[in-house]
Every structure is written in C-alpha cells, then in structure tokens.
Amino acid sequence: MQRIGVFVCWCGSNIAATVDVAAVSEALGHEPGVVFSTNYQYMCSEAGQNIIKNAIRDYQLTGIVVCSCSPRMHEATFRKTAASAGLNSYMVEIANIREQCSWIHKDKAQATEKAIILGRAAIAKVHLNAPLTAGESPVTKRALVIGGGIAGIQTALDIADAGFEVDIVEKQPTIGGKMTQIDKTFPTLDCAACILTPKMVDCAQNDKINIFAYSEVKEVKGFVGNFHVKINKKARYVDATKCTGCGECTEKCPMKKIPNEFNLGLDNRHAIYIPFAQAVPKVATIDPNACNMLKNGKCGLCAKVCSAGAIDYKQKDEIVEREYGAIVVATGYNPIKLDDYDEYAYSLSKDVVSSLEFERITNAAGPTGGTLLRPSDGKHPHTLVFVQCVGSRCSAEGKGKSYCSKICCMYTAKHAMLCREKYPDTEVYVFYIDVRSPGKNYDEFYRRAVEEYGVHYIKGQVGKVVPRSDGKLLVQGSDLLANEQVHIEADMVVLAAAIEPDKSARPLATMLTASMDTNDFFTEAHAKLRPVESPTAGIFLSGACQGPKDIPDTVAQAGAAASKVIGLLAKDKLTCNPCTAHSDEMMCNGCSSCEKVCPYGAISYVDKEFRMPNRTTAIRRVAVVNEAVCQGCGACTVACPSGAMDLKGFSNSQIMAEVDAICKM
C-alpha cells in the first residue's frame, strides 16, 4: 500500500475562487492510502514546495498527488521537488484542477465536486505507480539547417562559431535566398548583396559548415539529439568538385530562352546556368527540362567547351545519410501568386509588377542593369503607383491572407524613396490601409519618404487598374482622408504582394512532426517564452518560416535559434523519457502490429527460446523495444492485439484505475 500525500493548490484565486480547496483536501484526505492532505495558496512557490518536501519526510510518503494547474505547467517543478526530498520523480501525479476545472466552471459546488473526482483519479493512479529511472541518450554534435537564406546562413555561422559542425541544405543551386534578389535594405539602405555575399562566402569557407546546395531533405527519423536524415542531392549534371564557375559553358549553351528564375522571369538564362555572379557554391547547373542533350541526346556543347571536364550528363540524384543532434528550419517565404488579382491587371499588363520584380528592375545586377525601365517598352516611367496590402489582411475566403505581411510598408517606403531620389522627375503614389512602421528608425524612415522625398501617401485602397491602349495604366482608388475618388494615369504599378511560407514547409513539418498553424507557418513552443523552438524537441525555427519577418528580425531570430542549438549540442547526454513502451514477452506473439505503427522505429523482433511444459523449449518471435529510441507515444500499446505492449508510467491498468475512480461516483 502506498502512503500518499495530497497537496491542493489555490493558485491564488485562479483555483480557490471557483473550487472549495479546503473541501477538496478534506475529501481526498479520506481516500484509501492517503496519509496527509493539505492546501496552500501557491504550491509551486518555495514555501509551497517546502510543505511537500516536509510532508514527504515527516509522513514517509511513497507517492504524492498535487491538485494544481496543467502538468504542462508544473509537473517538472513538482517532480524536482519530490526528487529533492528523496522520492522518485515518477511517483508524482498532477490532478489538473485549474485548466480542466476552475477555469471552465462557474458553479463552485460543481467545480469542487469535479476537483475531488480528478483528485481521486490521480490517487488511484499513484497506487499503481512504480519508481522509474530515466536513461540517457547521446547527442550527435552536428546541426542541420534546412534552408540557406539569410536565416539559415546566420544560424549556421553562429553554430559553427561555437565550434559545432553544421550542414546547410538548400534546394536552389546557390545559398543566399530571397535576400540575394533584393537591391537595398531598409532602414539604412545598405546594398543587400554587400552585406549578404560576405556571409555566403564565410559559410563556404568555414570548415565547420557543409553546404548541400541543390538538395532537399527526403526523410527524417529519430529524435532530439539523434536525428537520422536522408538528403537528396539533386543531379546538377556538373561535377561540383571540378567546376570552376568560369561561365564558359553558359555562354556557349544554345538554349538561351529559358525564363530566368533569379530575375523572376524578367529576362532569360541558358539551359546551363549559374544563378548569379556571387553564387555559393559557384557551380554551373544544367536545367534538365531545358537541356537538349539531356532531353534528346543532341548537343553536348557545354561538355566540349568545359576545360575542367566537369560536365557529366549521366549524373544521378544522390542520397546522403547524415546524423544530427538538432534541426533548424529556415525555409523562408515566397510572395503569393498574383494571378487572381485581375483588378490590379497583374496578368494583363507587363507594367504591373510585384515588389520583388520591382527589386530586380532597380537592381544593378538585374535585367535592366539597375536603370528603372518599364518592362513593356523599356521606357522610363514618370508616374508610379504602389499598392500595399495586396493579399495581406484580406478576409475574402480563398483569396489572400488574413495576416499582415509585416515587411511591405517598409520596403514600399524604400522603393518610393529610391525612385524619387534617383529619378526626381517621377511622381510616386502609395496607396495604404495603415502604415505600420514599429521598429528602430522605421517610422523615421517612412517619414523621410513622405517629408523629404515628397512621396504621395494616399490612405485608401486601389479599386481597379485598367491598362489603356496608349500604354498608360489607369488607376482608380479612393482617398479616404479626402473622401474622394482618385484617378491616376500611371506608367507602372507595383503591388506589395502578401508573403506566405514556402510550399516545401508543409511536407517538411510532417517529416519533422513539427506543428504548423493554418497559414502553414511553423508554430513556436510558446508564443512569448519559447519563440524559436518548435514544440517538437530538437527542432528549432529561424526566420520567416515561423511568421513574416524583415531582415533585422530574421537575423536576430537566427542567432537566437543558433544559441538554443548550441545549448543542446553542448550537452553530452540527454535525459530520456523513462515512460517508454515495453513488451511482455510471455504474451507477445510476434505479429508485427506494433512495429508497423511505431513512428520512431523503436521496435524490433528477436527469436527467443522459452521454457515450455515438460522440460521442452520453444523458439518464439517476440518484440523488443529500444528504450533510447522510444518516445512513449503509446501507439504500439493500442495496436497490440495481445495486450503484450504496455507503457511505463501510463500502463493500461493505471488508466483503467483512473477511469474506475472517476466512474465510481
């Protein structure tokens, strides 16, 4: 028989205002096995914990029940308390009388009755608890960063700086991400390439960093400290170890009308290409959908001109298997597709562009060499209209995003300002719902656009953009402050498209068993207190995959994620969860049901010899659980048709005892 202590917490007035805590501790004090029962204002405080410790010593308690908040909140606290008083941590049970009781009830009598029932269930469980000892698992001292944009680069550099190995997996041929496509950065107007490319080079040169460019994560297995990852290195058809990036092949390639992704299709590239001059790794890649040689075996020109002999038309995708202790998701974002926005004539006129396209048009390395020219006729535009919140803060179902994309107010101010600075002969209009500029020096930046550069900010939305036959774009909008309709004959219209998580994020989240919100942004473990960790242990979040972010925020979060990874990798051992499955081999019939449902691959089978009646033996196939790999999810215990599988700490009999205690009323 256990000697059980019951500790009922008031949680200030959180519990005590709705639950008669004295009545609960009195009622539970009469339960079988309970030798001590009390209540206190804040059981989690030092004084409260001392009550528990003293009771454990004074009453020789073998198990305790704390009636308090959710175990997610303070189970760990009370386990530590018990351990420090010499009681096994797993002899502690929490009855959640706050979230599951006081917070959801109004009637005090009912809430009190329910609190007593929940307490009884916990007591019934403790009766069947057995001390458990946590094992340890080793930590692979290497991190994986998925995504090689500024978020991934910064995280990788910071982890490498602490002396740990990092692999970056990037699906594009080069790392760098969206920032490589940006011209200038707010609020200081540094050139993006000037601050990013040195970091890209640092990554390439750092011997702790391994870049898997043009690669994708195919499979993730394992758990915190011990992830096994399969990475698919897509065939570039170019031997990356031989290619010098001289660019000879790209000049000679006859297939030169392939839309250039890097410039968002505003100009063309060749079938063999290097995305841009500062690419890392600077290695050519053959686009298999465009290359004549790969499609029908005719051409082979690039192989002829390559003095390094790097071209390999027979190259195949290669699967690399690596082990990691931690995984950082840095999959970033994309602007939404604007095909559905006919009111802005995006698909009707070449002169209606997205903001990222506008970035390329104004970038010195872009299709126009940095001169602002209209895509349709290459003429200098005189009137530009910027439309904000295209698809952001949009409540229409099936169209746009409900959230604020956060970065558009600032980059639109930047675009407008730069237009006016370089081309004072332009008139620039910005239509906005609100200008959101809460960041260091952000509002000052926006004010400068309005006050110093004379950008016309109009509060209101554009209703329609109509391309006229003379090449002008007729913009109709409303000025809500003046309460009048505005008609502008524009030469170009720039749409600040909402941003969304990269499409690869959703399947990746499934592989990682990391949770996502309805917009496919990764969810953090706690919105305020654990913003860079996923609820899944060992998975960390960096950059816009977690929510819309500008570069300063992204870099800050990247560093934060890196510090969390470093904290994890600095440990030699991780304490395992002792609540693992185990198989009763006398009952197991080796049917393999459990193995099939185990998401961690923790179950294997052995042929074992058993003693049988009459001095005979028999060899039977039985399941064995690898406790270091088992995460205690319990899937096997329900799949087992024989009832041989059970979960330590949450055994079937314990759960039945809880149910019985609840039903006994």
Partner 1 sequence: MQELMLAKAKELLQNGTVNRVLGWQAGEFVYDITPAVFESEQDLDAGFVYNEFCGNNLSKYLIKESRKEGKVLAFLKPCDTYSFNQLIKEHRIIRENVYVIGVPCEGKTDGETLKSKGVKGILGAKSEGDELIIDTLYGEQRLSKRDALTARCLTCKSKKHVVYDELLGEEGEEVPENHRFEEVEKLEAMTPDERFAFWRGELSRCIRCNACRNVCPACSCEKCVFDNPASGISQKAAADSFEENMFHIIRAFHVAGRCTDCGECSRVCPQNIPLHLLNRKFIKDIDAFYGEYQAGEDTESRAPLTNFTYDDVEPSIVYKGGKK
Q: Which stretch binds partner 1 (CB under 8 A): 169-177, 282-290, 298-306, 641-649?
A: 641-649
CB–CB of 229/220 below 8 Å?
A: yes
For partner 1, give the closer residue by CB, 419 or 581.
Answer: 581
Measured CA to CA, the distance from residue 661 to residue 121 in angstroms comes to 5
601 binds partner 1 per the rule CB under 8 A: no
Q: Which stretch binds partner 1 (CB under 8 A): 261-269, 357-365, 575-583, 615-623?
A: 615-623
Number of residues that bind partner 1 (CB under 8 A): 20
Q: What x/- string results for residues 286 through 305 when contact with partner 1 is judged by CB under 8 A?
A: --------------------
60 binds partner 1 per the rule CB under 8 A: no
Q: How far apart are CB 256 and partner 1 at their closest, in Å?
A: 41
**Among 57, 64, 56, CA closest to 28:** 64
607 phi/psi in degrees, rounded to 5: -90, 120
For partner 1, give the closer residue by CB, 464 or 506.
Answer: 506
Q: How far is CA 438 from CA 252, 332, 334, 434, 446, in A?
A: 50, 22, 23, 12, 10
639 binds partner 1 per the rule CB under 8 A: yes
Q: What x/- string results for residues 325 through 364 when contact with partner 1 is judged by CB under 8 A?
A: ----------------------------------------
**Among 258, 280, 392, 267, CA closest to 336:** 392
Q: Tell me which DSSP letter residue 346 carries.
A: T
Measured CA to CA, the distance from residue 269 to residue 277 in angstroms comes to 13
* CB crowding 386-411: b at 16 or more within 10 Å, else e: bbbbbbbbeeeeeebbebbbbbbbbb
**Among 180, 171, 178, CA closest to 146:** 171
Q: How far apart are CB 595 and partner 1 at their closest, in Å?
A: 9
Burial of 555 (0-12, 13-18, 19+ CB in 10 A): buried
Q: How far apart are CB 2 and partner 1 at their closest, in Å?
A: 19
604 binds partner 1 per the rule CB under 8 A: no
For partner 1, give the closer residue by CB, 482 or 659.
Answer: 659
642 binds partner 1 per the rule CB under 8 A: yes
Q: Which stretch binds partner 1 (CB under 8 A): 148-156, 368-376, 567-575, 617-625?
A: 617-625
Q: Which stretch binds partner 1 (CB under 8 A): 70-78, 417-425, 482-490, 642-650?
A: 642-650
Q: How far is CA 370 from CA 262, 288, 358, 379, 419, in A?
A: 15, 30, 10, 13, 12
For partner 1, give the closer residue by CB, 570 or 659.
Answer: 659
For partner 1, give the closer residue by CB, 145 or 640.
Answer: 640
For partner 1, give the closer residue by CB, 425 or 609.
Answer: 609
User: For residues 559-598, which are near partner 1 according to CB under 8 A?
Assistant: 586-593, 596-597
Q: How far apart are CB 606 and partner 1 at their closest, in Å?
A: 12
Q: How far apart are CB 618 and partner 1 at their closest, in Å?
A: 7
3-state SS assignment for residue 36? strand
Q: Tell me which DSSP letter residue 522 carries.
A: B
**Among 272, 500, 307, 498, CA closest to 394:** 498
For partner 1, give the closer residue by CB, 462 or 644.
Answer: 644
CB–CB of 327/227 below 8 Å?
A: yes
Q: How far apart are CB 653 and partner 1 at their closest, in Å?
A: 8
Q: How far apart are CB 518 and partner 1 at their closest, in Å?
A: 17
Q: How far apart are CB 510 and partner 1 at their closest, in Å?
A: 8
Q: Cβ neighbours of residue 56 under 8 Å, at least 6 residues apart? A: 5, 64, 82, 85, 86, 87
Q: How far apart are CB 502 and partner 1 at their closest, in Å?
A: 19
Q: How far apart are CB 642 and partner 1 at their closest, in Å?
A: 4
CB atoms within 10 A of CB 180: 24
Measured CA to CA, the distance from residue 256 to residue 272 in angstroms comes to 9
User: What residue has token string 């170890």?
Assistant: 241
Q: Candidates 76, 348, 364, 656: give the one binding partner 1 (CB under 8 A).
A: 656
User: For residues 501-520, which are near partner 1 according to CB under 8 A?
Assistant: none
Q: How far apart are CB 596 and partner 1 at their closest, in Å?
A: 4
Using CB under 8 A, list all residues that contact partner 1.
Answer: 586-593, 596-597, 605, 618, 620-621, 639, 641-644, 656
